[in-house]
Amino acid sequence: GSGGTYFGPPDDPKRYTMLEELGTGATATVCRCMKSDGTQFAVKSINLGKLKLQPNYQKVSDKLHREVSILFSLRHPRIVSLFDVVEGRDQLHLVMELVEGGELFDHIVQMGAFTESVARYVFIQIADGLKYIHSQDIVYRDLKPENILVDSKGSRRGLLEIKLSDFGHSKLINDGYSTALTRVGTPQYWAPEVSDPAKAAQGYNQRVDLWSLGVVLYVMLVGAYPFDGIGESIDLQIRKANVTFPNDSRKPSQYAQDLIRALIKARPQERLSIDGCLNHPWITSCGGTLSKII
């Protein structure tokens, strides 16, 4: 982070002071920042100067505008809010809600794997956020624990409150079908129709997120990827969609295994819907709603 740097015109009462770095991703650095009234935010700064030199600048710039307009349009407790956009000479700053608690990814690594009740509590929230995203005709396309932030303010008694962030790969699909494909991100979470270029050319829809949801659940419960490219290539493993579980203490309960397998289905139309997930016995046999679980 570049401590003490300002962004926004100097006469702008809204200008922000950049504080320490919170995280980095493939495309951006995210820092804590503070408004003149002392309120704090997270700012995702995208280096436009560097982007402009790229041959595919137009495409990248379109993607950026998509991320901004999608984030601005979404308002949901399980989704990181975008409050402001400041365009500097070389940087585009997205001023977002500050979520302090790190990436879900780091929590999984730290714990090795989650207990079923911790995973269930997180899973319900992800499903809830995803359901809202899909209701807005948006495909998230980058669901993975690195993009799920833990909100330490809301978390208590070991139950993690989460928010979905990083809509850099999200896409609005009006016709219910998308044909765009950029093979970026983490292949471990790709559905077969994303991973396989021939299939991707035929288009895919919101169901790619359901596959990723299944992979996220597997990762939370087992502490490893279901498809990792060890042995067979990851594309081949994904195409086969054959989920196996370790035969030791990390083996999830029968209901959890069943839910994971219902999501990680090769054929998109066979995947369990989000409502189907929320009505699955792995959720309902343990009390069902969030309020009952807490």
Span from 117-125, 146-154, 193-201, 246-254 in contact with ligand ADP (CB under 6 A): 146-154
Tell me if 42 contacts ligand ADP by CB under 6 A: yes
6, 146, 234, 235, 283 from 251: Cα distances, Å: 50, 23, 22, 24, 18
35: tokens are 């408004």
149 binds, among ligand ADP, Mg ion, none (CB under 5 to 8 A by kind): ligand ADP
Interaction of residue 103 with Mg ion, rule CB under 5 A: no
Q: How many CB atoms lie within 10 A of CB 30?
A: 22
By C-beta, is 79 or 256 nearer to Mg ion? 79
Q: Tell me how crowded residue 272 is: count the other CB atoms within 10 A of its CB.
A: 22
The identity of residue 140, as a single letter, is Y
- List the catalytic residue out of 142, 151, 166, 209: 142
- Is residue 37 part of the annotated active site? The answer reads no
Q: Establish if 81 lies at the interface with ligand ADP (CB under 6 A).
A: no
Q: Which of 18, 22, 74, 138 contacts ligand ADP by CB under 6 A?
A: 22
Q: In the 8-state DSSP scheme, what is residue 207?
A: H
265 marked as binding residue: no
Interface stretch with Mg ion, choices 115-123, 165-173, 203-211, 263-271 (CB under 5 A): 165-173
Query: Closer CB to ligand ADP, residue 170 or residue 237?
Result: 170
CB of residue 137 to Mg ion, shortest distance in Å: 22
Which is nearer to ligand ADP, 24 or 253 (by Cβ)? Answer: 24
What tokens were used for 58?
């137009």
Buried b (16+ CB within 10 A) or exposed e, 250-260: eebeebbbebb
Contact partner, 43, from ligand ADP, Mg ion, none, Cβ < 5-8 Å per class = none
Estimate the crossing angle of helix 116-135 against helix 207-222, to 10 degrees: 170
Q: Toward ligand ADP, which CB reaches closer, 146 or 209? A: 146
Residues between 151 and 190 that touch ligand ADP (CB under 6 A): 165-166, 168
Torsion angle of the four alpha carbons 141, 144, 149, 150, in this order, in degrees rounded to the nearest 10: 140
Q: Closest by alpha carbon to 207, among 144, 119, 268, 143?
A: 268
For 32, the enclosing helix (H) or strand (E) is strand 29-35
Q: Which residues contact ligand ADP (rule: CB under 6 A)?
A: 22-28, 30, 42, 44, 80, 96-99, 103, 146-147, 149, 165-166, 168
Catalytic residues: 142
